[in-house]
Structure 1
Amino acid sequence: MTDFKSLEKDIDYYFNDKQLLLQALTHKSHKIGPDNERLEFLGDAVLDLVVGELLFYEFPQSTEGNLSKMRAGVVSEKGFMKLAQSINLGHYLYISQSEEQNQGRNKPSILSNAFEALMGAVYLESGLEDVRRIVKILLEKVYPNRDFQSLSLDYKTSVQELSQAQFFEIPTYELVSESGPDHCKEFEMILLIRGKQYARARGKSKKDAQQKCAQIAYEKLKKD
């Protein structure tokens, strides 16, 4: 079994049941022993509650709508991926050889699901208090400026609204190029408004590249 001491130190929690921790770190592709999907299910529910509670007390003046947006950002694939990366969670995962070759340790979905499973395991062994403490520490580490709402910002929608307001026209996206093998393609997109290029970006999918383009264009339009 892998030595999990560094991981346990990073979350300041030491499992009594190492098999429970092992299960939390076992992706379904591994095919040996129980995988982490059930713990992921539990962790998802627990984190939804814990993050909601932390935000409730952290932002006493925020409206229900703003709190919901911030929680949606934190308890998203992107949000949990960032927390997982902060503790190098991908290093400890048990995945198949094919996932290993496909950069599975860095995949947002695998990382975020593993983080949910890990917190589900902590909850099963020790209850809400330890999950609450760990999540609070990690949120302070990853988001020192408490900029949670930006996680849930849909740049494509936002840049469309700005474009309509300023130019009475919605942006268009064009695929410039795609490269790499089928299992690891990279797409390059540009964003145009009235035929003028406002952004160019690459991503692991067309949607990812479009979102990155939209973010670049959004910042430009906001300045204007």
Structure 2
Amino acid sequence: MMSSLFNQFDSPWFLACPLALLALLVPWKLFIYEHNSWPGTRNASLLDWTFQSLASQVWQPMSIWRGGRWVVLFTSLMLMLMTLNLIGLFPYTFTPTTQLSMNLGLAIPLWLGTIIYGFRNHPTIALAHLCPEGAPAPLIPMLILVETLSIFMRPLALGLRLTANLTAGHLLMHLISSAVLSLSAISNILGGTILVLLVLLTLLEMAVALIQGYVFAILVTLYLDENL
């Protein structure tokens, strides 16, 4: 009996415990922590350069004098998503970010935090986003309704975008790898050609894993910048 293609997205279990938590915690052991009594190593310098590069990307959408307190949070979020997405491409691993429940669990609190922050500190500006300036009076109720719906769809779009892109990539890699095994028995040349395509697709998925983590974090910073 053939198993479903989506079985690869089920969290594995060990001793009646889901390994999704382990998949979330183990990747952080790959990072180098610099001790106070040690000089900076090359790995520590590389990690510091990576964090500074990501932080500079987070700075751009936000106002410098108002968004400084949020840089560490969103840089850490971006680094976490990139790490989890990349680790999930290795064999015998589990990708937590292919689960819609986890992505929505990240998107909804972050989105809700930006909304609450905006209405608490700048209620006039937050309400002004619901109606563009200079809109015709008869269209104002419709514009307010459309803008309200678009705001409430933001966390769903964040979670679905990340889930759909990673899920589609994993499914495509699974299908092509199955084709390599099947075609290798028929023709080595054909199997080798498909294998080259699989390698290229893997490189593409690594780029997608990084880009999706970047896009998720940057969109949240844009939502926050609207309410700063």
Q: What TM-score comes out, normalization by structure 1 length?
A: 0.31
Q: Which has the higher helix share?
A: 2
| CA radius of gyration, larger in | 2
Q: Which has the higher contact order (CA 8 A, sep 6+)?
A: 2
Q: What TM-score comes out, normalization by structure 2 length?
A: 0.30
